[in-house]
Structure 1
Amino acid sequence: MISHDRIKIPPGFWNGLREIGFSMQEITAKAQLMPAQIERPEGVTITEYFAIWQAYSELVGDISEAVVKLSTAFDTTQYPPSMLATFHARDYRDALNRMGKYKKLCPPESLQIKEEGDDCRIQLSWSDPQQPGPPMLAAITLATLLELGRRGTGRLIHAKLVEFSFPLMDTGTLETYFGCPVRFGADTNRLTLKRSDLNLPFLSYNEEMLEILTPALEHTLNERQSNDSFVLTVERIIKHGLAGSRPDMLIVARDLGMSERTLQRRLAEEGTSFKKILSHVRHEMALTYLKDPSLEIHEVAFLTGYEDQNSFYRAFRSWEGETPANWRIKQNSQSVPLAR
């Protein structure tokens, strides 16, 4: 998913933080953000969103304790519509499936839910694997899924296993909360539940509320998917004509059967522009090509549409804060297996 996606932070998030002693001003100052950035109607960028969570992590000190506090402090009356639809679901399975579906409206994370045997495994993925979210956000997301089941059913549901891809935190606090073993340094972030718990009915089931919320959410989801497919189509056309030349917006517009002005308007409606998409595609492809040791730097520059190597170097510094050569060296050193 590309970087123009925005996240609207619900008021309940800030209310929950206030409940445990943190103000929005403290968090934004630590994240080096201005209040105006947080209050934009279209929401914050993914980078800003991650910065907010990282700031909370740094301010709170004990991350494990903070995960539990914020997960349990969030008032259900403050839930955004997508969360309300899960809280008023028929049972835990229905709630989780709705959560997985409506997460598509709330980048940058997504959920893959798989029922197999006696287990239900819920895996957290990031829209951009090159930009994973802070550990705090991953932990909060999985804790929220369990908290949803507990609040909806009125039962103290325990997970079977929780796995995190980041290094060790305070295992004891999290194991007490989740009621199961918690592993760190795993290959993914994943919550494993007892499949039988998914059949538990929700005491908060509200058919009338679902009849109000569901159509609006489905409409928004359909619009988002349609818009995403348009942006992805533009990306595909750019990639096809990228090697050795900078794609011209007029050519892309003609391939789409529309005028330049219409293309600009459609992209502006999605909160992005041709220039932003072109930069994103070049960045993404540059990282992919640099991982191939058989390609020289000047060849990567050519394949990403730069006529000279210096222009590519300047662009890459703006993306990664270092030269392509240094980035490649770091990647190679990380991929070398440790000696036994």
Structure 2
Amino acid sequence: MTQRFRVAYTLPRRLAEMGISPEAVLQRAGLPLGLFDLEKILVTTDELFALYRGMTESSEDPAIGLKLGTENRVEQYDPVAIAGLYARSFRDAIERIARYKQLICPEELRLHERGDESEVRFVWTFSDEREPPLLVDHCFSWLVGIGRKGTERPLNPRRVEFQRATEHKPMYEAHFGCPVKFKASHDSLVFHRADLDLPFVSHNPDMLGVIAPQLELELGKRLAQSSLSERARSVLKRQLAGQRPAIQQVASELCVSTRTLQRRLNEEGFSFQSLLEEARRELARHYLAHSPLELSEIAYLLGYEDANSFFRAFHHWEGVPPGQWRVVQARA
């Protein structure tokens, strides 16, 4: 099933405010010129990436992504952003956004905490392409903006990490108020762990009580359209981060018993092990094609005990060693 996601109805107006022709963006993106006239603007991941490449080609402003992600008018926020703004704390906001963002964008928010650092990554699904840098800028600026508005203080990350080559470093450091690292293994925002527990001055339980149930209803409808195996595979891809997820963990997140999960997967023609291998294969291809991670690091992230186990598995999937596959992809 091809997943489609909503594009904010305010996007054409924001582009026009910045002197960018929405029609020119669509033309450069190779998308229907009437797309922005639809009541609901729905696109696939590949179409969304094309849209942001069209924006890049239509603007000479290197800060366009940062500006698109900075919106001070709360009345222009989408429901997911409002749910984040009305949360109790920055951590609560990130968790709510991570839950509801799948309604409006083909991405997952993943939070990794180590020591006194909290790392937030936007992970894009349903595409083998690398996300356009302008889209990364937009997302990072958007999340930091919600944190600053909610806390009503100059909340800055500890550092920002980009996979791309070094460009416009002073601009990014001025916007985020922190050091920016380029040629990193991931695109990520790294915060001081304590900052995630800062309370939101904008916390509004009454408004949250109105918005959250509607978002939960929409989320339930979307999940109901997906098979249990699709949902389990998505959970596995989130949980594969230096560990091998157990079926009990996946069943708990899907709110079913382990026995029910096994039975339902069997009915759909899958086993837990086969889904785990599919998730590993998809992530391995993504890491090899779109990150500079060492092969040993990829093996660790996929939950293998050693690099040789990963090499054998990848050779079984693709017929060639992972290093050779990476070289072929780079040439292509």
Deviates more, 1:178-187 or 1:39-48: 39-48
Structure 2 residue aligned with 1:139: 137
CA contact (8 A) 1:20 1:73 kept: no
Selected match of 1:26 from 24, 27, 37: 24
Equivalent position of 1:102 in the other structure: 100
Cα distance between partner residues in 2 of 1:120 and 1:185: 20
Unaligned runs of 5+ in 1: 236-254, 258-283, 295-327
- Number of aligned pairs? 256
How far the C-alpha of 1:200 sits from its partner, in A, is: 2.1
In structure 2, the partner of 1:225 is: 223
Residue identity matched to 1:141: C
Q: Deviations over 1:188-219 (max 9, x none)?
A: 11100112222222222211110011111112
Evaluate the alpha carbon distance shift between residue 189 and residue 167 of structure 1 in structure 2; reply closer, same or farther with a 3 A threshold: same
SS in 2 for 1:43: strand
Which has the larger displacement, 39-48 or 135-144?
A: 39-48
Q: Report what 1:90 is aligned to.
A: 88
Q: Look up the match of 1:49.
A: 48
| Aligned-partner Cα distance in 2 for 1:99–1:53 | 21
Alignment of 1:16 onto 2:43:
no
Deviation at 1:141, TM superposition (A): 0.9
Code of the residue aligned with 2:83 in structure 1: it is A
1:228 aligned counterpart, secondary structure: coil
User: Which residue does 1:293 correspond to in 2?
Assistant: 320
- Distance in 2 (alpha carbons) for counterparts of 1:290 and 1:121: 31
> 1:8, 1:136 → 2: CA distance?
18
Answer whether contact 1:7 1:43 (CA < 8 A) is retained.
Answer: yes
What is the deviation of 1:231?
7.2
Quick one: percent identity of the two aligned structures? Answer: 31
Superposition RMSD in Å: 3.2
- TM-superposition CA deviations, 1:139-186 (whole Å, max 9, x none): 211121111111111111111111112222211100111111111221
Superposition pairs of residues 152-191 of structure 1, within 5 angstroms? 152-191=150-189
Residue type of the alignment partner of 2:79? P
SS state of the match for residue 203, structure 2? Answer: coil
Please state how far the C-alpha of 1:230 moved relative to its aligned partner. 4.9
Instruction: Return closer, same or farther for 1:150/1:199 CA change in 2, 3 Å cut-off.
Output: same
SS at match of 1:72: coil
Equivalent position SS for 2:109? strand
- TM-score scaled by length of structure 2: 0.68
Q: SS at 1:123's partner residue?
A: strand
Distance 2:58 2:31 in 1: 15
**Whole-angstrom CA distance in 2 between matches of 1:165 and 1:128:** 20
Instruction: Indicate if the aligned counterparts of 2:9 and 2:40 stay in contact, CA closer than 8 A.
Output: no
What does residue 251 of structure 1 align with? none
Aligned to 2:246: none
Structure number, greater radius of gyration: 1
Counterpart contact for 2:49–2:132, Cα < 8 Å: yes
Q: Please give the alpha-carbon distance, in whole angstroms, between the structure 1 residues aligned to 2:130 and 2:148.
A: 28
